[in-house]
Amino acid sequence: MSQFAALVVVLFVCGLLAMTNADQRVDVEAHIQVNVFSGSKNPKWTITNSDQIYDYLLPKLTRCANTAVHHESNSDLPPFWFESLGYQGIDIHIVQKGSKKVIAKGRIASGFMKRSCIVDEQFELELLETAPAQLISKELKLSLAKQMKQHQQKDRKNSLKQDEKSISMQKEFIAEHKMYIMHTSSFEDQVKLPQVVIRGPDNVTAYNPKKWNVDPIQYENNCYNYGSDVRTDTFAQPGRGSGQKWKENSCPDVIAASVRDGMIYAGNNTQPTNDPEVGHLVALVMADGFNFHWYKRDLGKMWSHKPGQTPVRDVDNSGRPISDPLTADRGWYTHFCCYMIAVPSKLNLN
């Protein structure tokens, strides 16, 4: 059984079947999180109606666990968009009310096809409808539905057509970062980190994901932290450290906010050839109206990034090395904003 197939089956099936009988029911609540943002925290909400969870949610997940299909070939490799830029699935964490006892937890995501299971294509959309209206806008729901469909179509078309180099790179990345292991830390009590700003050096550094891909540091720092090489453990937001956080998810607004934090504009059409004398290059991209994302140029003039709470990586959404964010596969972050220079000692992040 593959690592990912085990994730789907084991995490969902534990405790599900025994808890669906009415006489064995206890009060439960379901914590739901949509994994989609890089710069901001993902939308998260709670379903408190126990009957709704038992009669609707658990049967769906039980069916998923019972119908999973496993493969031992290269097709067993999850699609590379999982935990990449854009929609990455929905995390479900069901716990007993008044305690921390976990009834079931796991992630569902469109597009896995033969790799795991498909409950039905409407399940994710139906879960989105349980979110408070102010949390997930109509526009975001439409964008998520579009991304779900794209993942399904891409998986049907390309699941068995990955070239050997891409497959090898993905397996190597999975082995190093274990990126397809379900992360549930965002739902559970975290070790409270002291709010001490830790800055990298004011020069270009070699790619080093290990200092970021550590729990709980990984979950408390985002793409802005990583790109700036400034660890705050606050999921830093452009402008917040300098007193005026960004207001709109647009290139002009986020650029202005990051300049207030100390970033230096370096153009938007052509990647600078040389590294800056002080600091390092970063790049800002945008999913207009929804979210922002940052990249960092490393020693050797290749780029890396950290999508939200997921691990740092040096490949794009297609699993390819990043020579220029302008031409990389960036998922739904289709608007390239600009290149900037980050000097960690001069930045005011929070």
Tell me, what's the pLDDT at 90?
A: 86
Tell me, what's the pLDDT at 43?
A: 94
Q: Hey, is 21 helix, strand or coil?
A: coil
In the chain, where the domains are located: 3-187, 198-346
Please state, in angstroms and as integers, the Cα–Cα distance from residue 324 to each residue in 217, 230, 256, 283, 327, following that order: 27, 22, 23, 9, 6
DSSP 255-320: HHHHHHHT-EE--SSS--SSPPSSSEEEEEEEETTTEEEEEEE-TTS-EEE--TTSPPBSB-TTS-
Q: Hey, is 322 helix, strand or coil?
A: strand
Mean pLDDT per block of 10 residues along the chain (350 residues) reads: 32 46 76 93 92 83 50 41 76 85 76 44 83 91 87 56 54 50 46 77 97 90 98 96 95 98 96 97 96 98 96 91 97 96 97
The CA-based angle 121-141-253, given to 5 degrees, is: 145
CA 133 from centroid of its chain's CA atoms: 22
The one-letter code for the residue type at 231 is: R
322 DSSP β-pair partners? 303
The CA-based angle 147-150-156, given to 5 degrees, is: 145
Tell me, what's the pLDDT at 109?
A: 73
pTM of the model: 0.82
